[in-house]
Amino acid sequence: MGVDEQLLLIRNYNLWSDISDEEYEELNLIHHFIEAKRNEYLYFESHLHNKLYFLKEGYIKIGYIDESGREIVKEIIRKGEVFGQITLERNNLRGEFAQAYKGNVSLCAFNIEDFERLLQQKPGIALRYSKLVGHQLKKVETRLVELLHKDVRSRLAGFLLQLINQEIKPGSTAVVSNFLRHEDIADLIGSSRQTVTSLISEFEAAGWVFFTRKTISVPDVKALQKLVAVG
């Protein structure tokens, strides 16, 4: 990928959208740009991590290996989201891995010390970063609350609503890319693959959602919202 293409990807990221050309050069953003191939690890549990990653293209799988050796998915990071040391602490990701998922990925990576200096220099970026992290933490909090207080049907409905949130428009079907295995969804909502597969079939039979190999479409958002409310 050429320098111009890299700069275009960086500009398309909300955090850097208001930065001038001079500031791009001053902050040396282009040198923080990296790419990773499908299934490549950005970090793994045996490493110490002091980096922050902003995902520009693709998907990142965040997970860990349990005592039985099974891979557990904690989160799927999508374009426009941040992962790694998002609280700007040091070496607190032991046991966690981040892996390029479903395809190649493009990212912007910072050492914690470098990013802290950047936030001190650019208060506007600091404000946008705090909002970005707050939004992601809110999603995690919502999922934890649902895990504690909702049944699995409601949790699946809530997860799907979170997934399509930015695509919801009154009177139209919300459609997103289908980048998730049923096993991944099960990990993310605290269920089993068999249960998730059964519930998806139930939702499809009711006309609430439709899964294909490439897309997830939700023609009946209100039905899912009702499930979450009563679950």
First to last CA, the chain: 47
What's the average model confidence in pLDDT over 62-89? 88
CATH topology identical between 3-140 and 150-230: no
**Chain centroid, CA 26 distance in Å:** 29
What's the average model confidence in pLDDT over 66-85? 88
Each domain of the chain, given as residue ranges in start order, spans 3-140, 150-230
Q: What is the pLDDT of residue 148?
A: 85
> To the nearest whole number, what is the mean pLDDT of the chain?
83
* Cβ 64 vs Cβ 45: under 8 Å: yes
Does domain 3-140 correspond to CATH entry 2.60.120.10? yes
- What are the pLDDT digits (tens) for 103-146? 999 988 888 888 888 888 888 888 888 888 888 888 888 888 88
What's the average model confidence in pLDDT over 12-36? 68
Q: What is the pLDDT of residue 3?
A: 45
Does domain 150-230 correspond to CATH entry 3.30.70.270? no
Q: Which CA distances in Å does 168 have to 23, 100, 123, 139, 193?
A: 35, 27, 32, 17, 26
H or E element: which one contains 25?
Answer: helix 21-27
Q: What is the pLDDT of residue 108?
A: 84
Residue 187 phi, psi dihedral angles, 5° rounding:
-60, -40
